[in-house]
């Protein structure tokens, strides 16, 4: 078998090299011609090895000037060291290569017209700088959009002469909203079927800008960081055809669309590598994002509008006219905080006892604990104490020591970066992600939105370590030591989910290049974490001595650090344990004089409120949000005053409103608040992404379920203001007491019932259900007029009575407003809506 048959098309050798690399390296001209004459290898011509070298790089390095073929077009491609094949060639070979390149371009006919669209204008400029051949020079001009210039240059694409236009969107091109003629005055339930439209920011005029630049183009290459949400727009607005194979797109008249995804960063070598590995958009994935977006819009706005208008109309005089929002990610995020709060509130300290003996060790002493551990019965503990005191000495029954380690950390993904920023820097998730993205756009960090915590095989670990060894960096000494002594292999127990590589430094940067103190602090933590992932484990010597005091067994342990390894660069404090090193000086049969034995009482301690870091970990486990959105969900519950953040501890305590919402939801329908509500939506959308279901089918079925749940919620919506009143009363913010009055007493009973339901939920059981959960199909039940919610019914009056008993004042002013056709305080002076109806009358849903 030929050696080249060992490298089928698309396969890579140990160093990421194809058969074409090997043939070029060896100077086998005939093999190169055979490989490049086959269709299967045409796409391999610009493939790079782990050092960013093309086959042409290798041929030139070995001075194989005869290895030249018209299909080679990578004359300007830069290796990981920033050098092209032309840079490597001597003067004679450089002339030959330049002439061959010009002949290739001349023989290819009319050039291709290629439009490349980046996520932001700054990325478009970076793309141009990285991909434009230096001798050609790029031109910059204005387009239709005033905020997104167009860069133009000439080059080649797959051996064809090409004219490139590079421009950008300015964030998301569109957002989904309801049309202006949506009949919202009929009630929020119409939002489950109302027409939706894509809305644009008219100031940027991006849709017209992209459409104009796409005219007469042959290829469209999107650099949107795997943003599935934008793919649907490009297909809809530009009328793009379905994806075809790359080689079939090069015929004039066909319009192909491809995705460019730099796997590492915006560094030139990564962008150049990505240009040789273009992929086709996955329409199923784009459809799944559209489905999720539509479900979130309809469900979230319908519930939010119902709650807010109900509050404002009936209880605005007593509770204030606040916004009360709902979101399928926001509310489960809040529920985690409420669940922990309920555990704290229900906690009752329990006493337990420990038996402790003090024994000599040379000139000092150490403590041994009874092997029974916590003793929950005081009588039992005192009996053990008497039995231990019956002996004046302890006998060593065994001694052992062993080496253990604190493993180096895994590579950094988004969730771990956000947790680190909160714990170490006191930087909230929203702020941390904003800072990381700013560093990414400056080319200082790799892309910060990733779920992957495993380095790819061809990642240049040594090169990145060398870049961290610049003398001006505070962590340079650790990088220099690694560069000299060698790197420890990164952990293999991470996961590569196929999105982006872990977050790493891209280059050495100064404090001024990073920007603010927060930018520099996050950059430093990422750099130190990267170095920690390739540093040795920290090791310690542990020891245990077991003793017998009469017929009562005791044991003592110690730990002594033998190597701090990765912990030094990561600035993690690892300390010795135990007053005495027990690894030596003790043998079986040794008799130690008893200095003291005592019984110590302790009490169990309640858990603490969730920190931002702990909340992010729970969200990640239960699938609430993505690496791109989790930070915003945590920020939302803070901004909407559903939780209160302790800036010192970063703990999140639910507010009265946050507690009331979750308690009311638990009373009405737990499925709309538990994390399983989001899991059910994600599972349905995942079926669309895998091609197992159609978007329309999933959206229709999910909306039918949530609409029925919406009506069930509307029937018992009075639970929400009741729970808020109890929350304020229990916190002492109301003038009354939750124990005063019949209605108030009933409200308190409901509060306790809701807390009990929350307390009974097991997070472990929810986690087991995550992959298979489906929201229960709510029964349609009897017809329900949603307008009943806005009427001053007997139920509303009962809630108002309970609020008055709880100290929230009289609702008489509100009731007189209703009698006059208004809505509480709104009756004093109605505002006119766009439809000309006052907000307090039939148009109250607007």
What's the pLDDT tens digit per position in 233-281? 554 454 443 333 333 333 333 345 666 666 556 778 778 888 887 877 7
Q: Cα 556–560–562 angle (5° rounding)?
A: 150
- Active-site residue among 153, 447, 523, 642? 447
What is the chain's alpha carbon radius of gyration, rounded to the nearest angstrom?
A: 34
Give the pLDDT of residue 34: 73
Average pLDDT for 157-173: 83
Cβ pair 772, 680 in contact under 8 A: no
Give the pLDDT of residue 60: 81
Please name each of the domains of the chain with its CATH number. 3-107 (1.25.40.20), 112-281 (3.40.50.140), 291-347+608-809 (1.10.460.10), 351-406+540-603 (2.70.20.10), 414-533 (1.10.290.10), 811-846 (no CATH)
**Tens digit of pLDDT for each residue in 282-291?**
788 888 888 9
Q: What length is written for the chain?
A: 846
Give the pLDDT of residue 215: 80
Q: Which of 7-11, 406-410, 771-775, 814-818 has the lowest mean pLDDT?
A: 814-818
For the four alpha carbons of 335, 338, 339 and 340, in that order, the dihedral sign comes to positive
Q: Which one, of 127, 78, 117, 116, lies nearest residue 441 by Cα?
A: 127
Cβ pair 491, 536 in contact under 8 A: no
447 assigned to active site: yes
Higher per-residue confidence, 11 vs 96: 96
Q: Which one, of 177, 167, 115, lies nearest residue 144 by Cα?
A: 167
Q: Which one, of 626, 630, 627, 660, lies nearest residue 642 by Cα?
A: 660
As a 3-state breakdown, the chain gives helix, strand, coil percent values, each rounded to 5, of: 45, 15, 40
**Tens digit of pLDDT for each residue in 642-657?**
999 999 999 999 999 9
Longest dimension (CA), the chain: 102
231 — pLDDT class (breaks 50, 70, 90): low
- Most confident among 603-607, 748-752, 815-819 (mean pLDDT): 603-607
* Phi, psi torsion values for 412, nearest 5 degrees: -90, 120
CA 520: distance to chain centroid? 22
State the average pLDDT for the chain. Answer: 82
Cβ pair 416, 620 in contact under 8 A: no
Average pLDDT for 426-439: 94
* 198 pLDDT higher than 80: yes
- Most confident among 202-206, 347-351, 728-732 (mean pLDDT): 347-351
Average pLDDT for 158-164: 83
Give the pLDDT of residue 780: 58
Higher per-residue confidence, 411 vs 29: 411
Give the residue ranges of DSSP H helices in 598-675: 612-622, 630-639, 656-668
Cβ pair 620, 415 in contact under 8 A: yes
Give the C-alpha separation, 665 to 487, whole Å.
Answer: 53
372 — pLDDT class (breaks 50, 70, 90): very high
Higher per-residue confidence, 715 vs 47: 715
Give the pLDDT of residue 775: 64
33 — pLDDT class (breaks 50, 70, 90): confident
Give the pLDDT of residue 239: 43
Cβ pair 196, 297 in contact under 8 A: yes
Give the C-alpha separation, 360 to 355, whole Å.
Answer: 17
> Which residues, other chains included, contact 603 with Cβ-Cβ below 8 Å and sequence gap of 6+?
349, 350, 351, 352
The first and second tokens of residue 706, run together, are: 């949530």
The first and second tokens of residue 275, run together, are: 């240009």
> Which residues, other chains included, contact 538 with Cβ-Cβ below 8 Å and sequence gap of 6+?
405, 406, 408, 561, 563, 564, 565, 566, 567, 574
* 217 pLDDT higher than 50: yes
606 — pLDDT class (breaks 50, 70, 90): very high
Pairing of strands 112-118, 160-168: parallel
Average pLDDT for 35-59: 68
DSSP category for residue 274: H
What stretches of 237-350 adopt beta strand conformation (E)?
A: 256-259
**Tens digit of pLDDT for each residue in 440-476?**
888 899 889 888 999 988 788 999 999 999 998 999 9
Give the C-alpha separation, 843 to 836, whole Å.
Answer: 9
* 320 pLDDT higher than 90: no
Give the pLDDT of residue 814: 43
The first and second tokens of residue 804, run together, are: 């008055």
Give the pLDDT of residue 833: 36
Give the pLDDT of residue 105: 56
Give the pLDDT of residue 812: 60
DSSP conformation letters of 40-89? HHHTTTT---TTS--HHHHHHHTT-TT---TT---TT---TTS--HHHHS
What stretches of 308-407 adopt beta strand conformation (E)?
A: 351-361, 364-370, 393-406
* 17 pLDDT higher than 60: yes
Give the C-alpha separation, 716 to 744, whole Å.
Answer: 17
């Amino acid at each position: 078998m030929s050696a080249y048959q060992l490298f089928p098309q698309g396969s890579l050798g140990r160093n990421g090299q194809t058969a074409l690399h090997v043939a070029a390296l060896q100077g086998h001209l005939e093999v190169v011609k055979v490989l490049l004459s086959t269709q299967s290898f045409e796409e391999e011509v610009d493939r790079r090895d782990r050092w960013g070298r093309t086959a042409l790089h290798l041929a030139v390095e070995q001075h194989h000037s005869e290895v030249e073929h018209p299909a080679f077009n990578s004359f300007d491609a830069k290796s990981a060291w920033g050098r092209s094949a032309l840079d490597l060639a001597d003067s004679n070979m450089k002339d030959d290569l330049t002439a061959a390149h010009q002949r290739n371009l001349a023989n290819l006919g009319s050039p291709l017209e290629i439009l490349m669209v980046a996520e932001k204008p700054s990325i478009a400029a970076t793309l141009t700088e990285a991909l434009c051949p230096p001798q050609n020079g790029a031109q910059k001009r204005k387009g239709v959009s005033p905020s997104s210039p167009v860069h133009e240059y000439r080059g080649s694409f797959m051996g064809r002469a090409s004219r490139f236009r590079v421009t950008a969107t300015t964030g998301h091109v569109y957002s989904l909203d309801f049309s202006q003629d949506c009949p919202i005055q009929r009630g929020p339930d119409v939002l489950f079927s109302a027409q939706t439209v894509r809305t644009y920011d008219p100031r940027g005029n991006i849709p017209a800008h992209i459409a104009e630049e796409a005219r007469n183009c042959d290829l469209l290459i999107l650099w949107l960081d795997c943003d599935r949400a934008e793919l649907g727009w490009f297909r809809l607005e530009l009328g793009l055809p379905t994806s075809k194979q790359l080689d079939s797109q090069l015929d004039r008249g066909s319009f192909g669309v491809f995705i460019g995804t730099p796997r590492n960063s915006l560094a030139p070598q990564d962008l150049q590598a990505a240009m040789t590995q273009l992929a086709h958009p996955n329409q199923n994935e784009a459809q799944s994002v559209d489905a999720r977006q539509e479900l979130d819009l309809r469900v979230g706005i319908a519930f939010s509008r119902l709650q807010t208008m109900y509050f404002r109309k009936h209880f605005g005089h007593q509770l204030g006219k606040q916004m009360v929002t709902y979101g399928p990610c926001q509310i489960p995020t809040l529920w985690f905080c409420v669940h922990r709060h309920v555990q704290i509130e229900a906690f009752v300290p329990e006493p337990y006892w420990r038996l402790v003996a003090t024994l000599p060790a040379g000139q000092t002493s150490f403590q041994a604990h009874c092997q029974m551990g916590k003793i929950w019965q005081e009588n039992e503990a005192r009996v053990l104490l008497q039995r231990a005191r019956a002996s004046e000495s302890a006998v060593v029954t065994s001694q052992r020591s062993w080496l253990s380690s604190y493993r180096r950390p895994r590579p950094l993904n988004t969730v771990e970066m956000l947790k680190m920023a909160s714990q170490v820097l006191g930087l909230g998730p929203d702020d941390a992600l904003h800072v990381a993205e700013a560093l990414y756009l400056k080319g200082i960090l790799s892309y910060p939105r990733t779920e992957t915590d495993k380095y790819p095989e061809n990642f240049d670990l040594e090169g990145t370590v060398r870049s961290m060894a610049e003398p001006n960096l505070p962590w340079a000494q650790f990088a220099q030591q690694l560069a000299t002594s060698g790197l420890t292999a990164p952990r293999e127990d991470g996961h590569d989910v196929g999105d982006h590589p872990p977050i790493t430094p891209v280059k050495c940067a100064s404090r001024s290049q990073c920007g603010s103190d927060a930018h520099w602090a996050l950059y430093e933590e990422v750099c130190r974490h990267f170095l920690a992932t390739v540093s040795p484990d920290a090791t310690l010597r542990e020891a245990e001595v077991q003793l017998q005091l009469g017929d009562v067994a005791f044991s003592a342990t110690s730990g002594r650090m033998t190597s701090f390894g990765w912990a030094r660069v990561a600035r993690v404090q690892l300390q010795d344990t135990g007053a005495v090193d027990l690894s030596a000086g003790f043998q079986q049969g040794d008799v130690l004089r008893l200095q003291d034995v005592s019984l110590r009482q302790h009490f169990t301690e309640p858990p603490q409120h969730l920190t931002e870091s702990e909340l992010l970990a729970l969200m990640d486990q239960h699938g609430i949000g993505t690496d791109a959105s989790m930070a915003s969900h945590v920020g939302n519950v803070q901004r909407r005053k559903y939780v209160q953040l302790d800036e010192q501890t970063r703990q999140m305590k639910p507010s009265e409103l946050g507690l009331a919402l979750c308690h009311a939801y638990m009373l009405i329908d737990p499925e709309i608040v538990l994390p399983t509500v989001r899991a059910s939506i994600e599972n349905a959308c995942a079926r669309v992404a895998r091609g197992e279901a159609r978007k329309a089918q999933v959206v229709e079925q999910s909306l039918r379920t949530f609409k029925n749940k919406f009506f069930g919620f509307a029937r018992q919506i009075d639970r929400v203001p009741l729970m808020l009143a109890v929350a304020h009363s229990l916190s002492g913010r109301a003038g009354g007491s939750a124990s005063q009055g019949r209605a108030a007493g009933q409200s308190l009973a409901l509060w306790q019932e809701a807390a009990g339901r929350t307390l009974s939920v097991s997070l472990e059981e929810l986690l087991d259900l995550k992959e298979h959960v489906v929201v229960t199909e709510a029964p349609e039940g009897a017809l329900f007029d949603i307008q009943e919610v806005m009427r001053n019914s007997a139920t509303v009056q009962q809630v108002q009575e309970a609020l008055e008993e709880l100290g929230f004042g009289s609702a008489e002013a509100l009731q007189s407003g209703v009698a006059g056709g208004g809505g509480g305080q709104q009756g004093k002076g109605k505002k006119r809506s766009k439809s000309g109806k006052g907000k307090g009358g039939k148009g109250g849903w607007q």
